[in-house]
Chains A and B, each alone.
Chain A
């Protein structure tokens, strides 16, 4: 219990420090990278909910991210509605679409559901790319205004940073609460053994739809934030490889704990910036790196890190054979 409270304060202080320090030391460019990283983190959290907790692999998340972005773009640019309405509409709209899709697709079991989500993201991408009157087709939608509440506008990179940070914290807290709630436990029950879960009274069909919808709503808000941040969106961003990227980030970080998405996203978004000078070789290193990390640490960095920590602890920090049992 004391540990939990200490943990809470550690995290809170960390976030407060981050909120103040990061905008001060970073260039505008790096701040943009951080913002995009945080938006990506929200999408990886969505993957954490639908796959890490509920065990349903979904490649549709990038499609939902796009839905959120396009809803915001269309409402603010074509219908001139306020950004606040747009952000709510994005969350609810994406959730609604996911719920409807879930109703149809969760009749499929196991990996077949996953395959259908590949179809979903490809169809969504097709719509973004070709439905000219609504999504602008290949032209995309530009001129998206900055987010604003009343007369308070979030135009600068730093404003966006604070806005996105607030949402990131909120979403993380929600995820934390869900993880420890009965709903979260039913997700994990389905992941671990669906038949047993059903025997215990979990309505797996309904619960899976809830997980899918919640995850999609995360992507919806991430999409909305993305539209406000970049003020121009096009279909080429919301693709199947992007969904695969979220999955990779989740697995690399660790699918079992809330810290996993944090680590995975930070690593895969920020390391490439550090290694930008490698230019053409970055993607190659990324691909090979993923392959190697899966072999070396199949539980992700958090899981693997824990194992390494445990084994060092057991051995004692000094490299002598230990005599005790522990």
Chain B
């Protein structure tokens, strides 16, 4: 009897809890601020990207509000924590979709974007995701917009640069087993095969691995003269370090992570001369990008990097769609978003195609003296 009393007591304070969190609709009160939701990692292993994301979004909102906001209304952001995993991302997204936001910014991790895709379809709120996987376009989700250059472009660019510019003949591929890296590696492999220069070896590892000797030793034994790699930041740093430790002096062309400050700081002198395909670097030749880099450094005292840049761009894209739509009606906003063409961001120029893929170009970058320098731009479309 007493134990069920306890259950009853707990039940009693649950009902008000549930009632207290009731749904809100995106208000169309003409004077109230417009809210955008942001799903980001504030805890868990990816908490660092969460901080950069916040920086990028808040800086964009400042800029937008300083220029008059959205047709006179101020823009505001609501952040929800995804705990660094897929289930948390879905949770965070669902929380935001019920809280009266007009647009939502999704995570930069392709796996999480795939996880929230069903929720996006259900909620019917225009959502800008920043994963680069090609699988996102395949979702055929008209409410999901990929505010990034897809791997179809960047992975192909990596492969072509390795074979054509660096004249590498025996290329090895190394990638993490997550969706982004696996997908990108598959695209690169196909590109190389189509060029008649198939990779001599394709190796993968699990995120969180600390010792890459097994895969690197295999690459060394295969006699490869270059490695294409897709990793996250800590692994990129470790790989750059261990490649040199194993005396593997071959060219390394990596994904975005390889020229981030974290990876370069961790690998120190081993990061020298590593190439990468990047969405954004602080030394970008784009006028708007360079301006962003300068102001970011002044405001936050740290260097900008691609997380903050992508989220800055996504926020300004959202503002653009909201402005063009003239209201917060979700269908109007969705249509306005889909119609965005040649929108110049700090990372790249955005034009949404029929699959809602937005990014159009990437940069080929090389680290010199610890700083990534742009070598050339690759336009995908």
Interface residues of A (CB under 8 A from B): 3, 7, 10-11, 14, 18, 21-22, 25-30, 32-34, 36, 129-130, 137-140, 142, 230-232, 234, 236-237, 254, 257, 259, 262-263, 266-267, 270, 273-274, 276, 279-280, 282-283, 301-302, 305-306, 309
Within 63-101 of B, Cβ neighbours of A (below 8 Å) are at 81, 85-87, 90-91, 94-95, 97-99
Assess the A267–B10 pair: CB atoms within 8 A.
yes
Question: B361 — which chain A residues lie within 8 A by C-beta?
Answer: none
Assess the B43–A138 pair: CB atoms within 8 A.
no
User: Can you identify 30 A-B contacts, CB atoms within 8 angstroms?
Assistant: A3-B1, A7-B4, A10-B4, A25-B18, A26-B22, A27-B21, A27-B23, A28-B98, A29-B23, A29-B98, A129-B206, A137-B177, A137-B182, A138-B111, A139-B135, A140-B111, A142-B114, A142-B117, A142-B118, A230-B87, A230-B115, A232-B115, A232-B117, A234-B115, A236-B85, A236-B87, A237-B87, A266-B14, A270-B17, A305-B3
Q: Does any Cβ of A come within 8 Å of B353's Cβ?
A: no
Residue of A30, A302, A306 near B18 (CB, 8 A) is: A30
Least Cβ–Cβ distance between B58 and chain A, in angstroms: 15
Q: Does any Cβ of A come within 8 Å of B153's Cβ?
A: no
Question: A32 — which chain B residues lie within 8 A by C-beta?
Answer: 91, 94
Chain B positions 39 through 65: 1 when the CB is less than 8 Å from some CB of chain A, otherwise 0: 000110001000000000000000000
Residue of B3, B94, B95, B182 near A138 (CB, 8 A) is: B182
- Known A-B contacts A29-B97, A142-B114, A230-B118; A7 and B18 likewise in contact (beta carbons under 8 Å): no
Least Cβ–Cβ distance between A246 and chain B, in angstroms: 15
- Known A-B contacts A32-B94, A283-B43; A27 and B177 likewise in contact (beta carbons under 8 Å): no
Question: B21 — which chain A residues lie within 8 A by C-beta?
Answer: 26-27, 29-30, 273
Assess the B114–A26 pair: CB atoms within 8 A.
no
Residue of A nearest to B11 (CB): A14
Q: Does any Cβ of A come within 8 Å of B19's Cβ?
A: yes
Assess the A231–B118 pair: CB atoms within 8 A.
yes
Assess the A279–B14 pair: CB atoms within 8 A.
no
Assess the B118–A270 pair: CB atoms within 8 A.
no
Residue of A11, A21, A33, A309 near B91 (CB, 8 A) is: A33
Least Cβ–Cβ distance between A287 and chain B, in angstroms: 12
Question: A254 — which chain B residues lie within 8 A by C-beta?
Answer: 3
Number of interchain pairs (Cβ within 8 Å): 128
CA distance A259 to B7 in the complex (A): 7
Q: Does any Cβ of A come within 8 Å of B32's Cβ?
A: no
Residue of B nearest to A262 (CB): B7
Q: Does any Cβ of A come within 8 Å of B178's Cβ?
A: yes
Assess the A282–B2 pair: CB atoms within 8 A.
no
Assess the B10–A263 pair: CB atoms within 8 A.
yes
Question: A230 — which chain B residues lie within 8 A by C-beta?
Answer: 87, 90, 115, 118
Question: B22 — which chain A residues lie within 8 A by C-beta?
Answer: 25-27
Assess the A302–B3 pair: CB atoms within 8 A.
yes
CA distance A11 to B3 in the complex (A): 12
Query: Sorted from nearest, which 9 A-B pairs have the closest CB atoms?
Result: A27-B23, A259-B3, A25-B19, A26-B18, A29-B98, A231-B118, A29-B94, A138-B178, A27-B98
CA distance A264 to B112 in the complex (A): 29
Best-buried of A18, A21, A231, A309 by chain B (most CB within 10 Å): A231
CA distance A202 to B11 in the complex (A): 39
Question: A305 — which chain B residues lie within 8 A by C-beta?
Answer: 2-3, 6
Q: Does any Cβ of A come within 8 Å of B15's Cβ?
A: yes
Interface of B is mostly: helix
CA distance A137 to B178 in the complex (A): 8
CA distance A7 to B7 in the complex (A): 12
Assess the B14–A130 pair: CB atoms within 8 A.
no
Assess the A138–B42 pair: CB atoms within 8 A.
no
Question: B1 — which chain A residues lie within 8 A by C-beta?
Answer: 3, 7
Assess the B43–A279 pair: CB atoms within 8 A.
yes
Least Cβ–Cβ distance between B277 and chain A, in angstroms: 21
CA distance A26 to B16 in the complex (A): 9
Question: B117 — which chain A residues lie within 8 A by C-beta?
Answer: 142, 232
Assess the A25–B15 pair: CB atoms within 8 A.
yes
Least Cβ–Cβ distance between B17 and chain A, in angstroms: 6
Within 308-346 of B, Cβ neighbours of A (below 8 Å) are at none
Residue of A3, A36, A129 near B177 (CB, 8 A) is: A129
Q: Does any Cβ of A come within 8 Å of B217's Cβ?
A: no
Best-buried of A26, A36, A302 by chain B (most CB within 10 Å): A26
Q: Does any Cβ of A come within 8 Å of B8's Cβ?
A: yes
CA distance A25 to B19 in the complex (A): 5
Excluding A28-B98, A29-B94, A140-B114, 7 further A-B contacts by CB distance (< 8 Å) are A137-B182, A138-B177, A232-B114, A236-B87, A283-B43, A305-B2, A306-B3
- Known A-B contacts A14-B8, A138-B178, A279-B42; A270 and B14 likewise in contact (beta carbons under 8 Å): yes
Assess the A21–B111 pair: CB atoms within 8 A.
no
Assess the B86–A236 pair: CB atoms within 8 A.
yes
Question: B11 — which chain A residues lie within 8 A by C-beta?
Answer: 14, 18, 266
Assess the A234–B86 pair: CB atoms within 8 A.
yes
Question: B355 — which chain A residues lie within 8 A by C-beta?
Answer: none
Assess the A274–B17 pair: CB atoms within 8 A.
yes
Q: Does any Cβ of A come within 8 Å of B273's Cβ?
A: no
Least Cβ–Cβ distance between B301 and chain A, in angstroms: 21
Q: Does any Cβ of A come within 8 Å of B242's Cβ?
A: no
Residue of B nearest to A309 (CB): B2
Least Cβ–Cβ distance between B104 and chain A, in angstroms: 13
Least Cβ–Cβ distance between B213 and chain A, in angstroms: 20
Assess the B43–A280 pair: CB atoms within 8 A.
yes
Q: Does any Cβ of A come within 8 Å of B179's Cβ?
A: yes
Question: B7 — which chain A residues lie within 8 A by C-beta?
Answer: 14, 259, 262-263
CA distance A30 to B178 in the complex (A): 30
CA distance A267 to B13 in the complex (A): 11
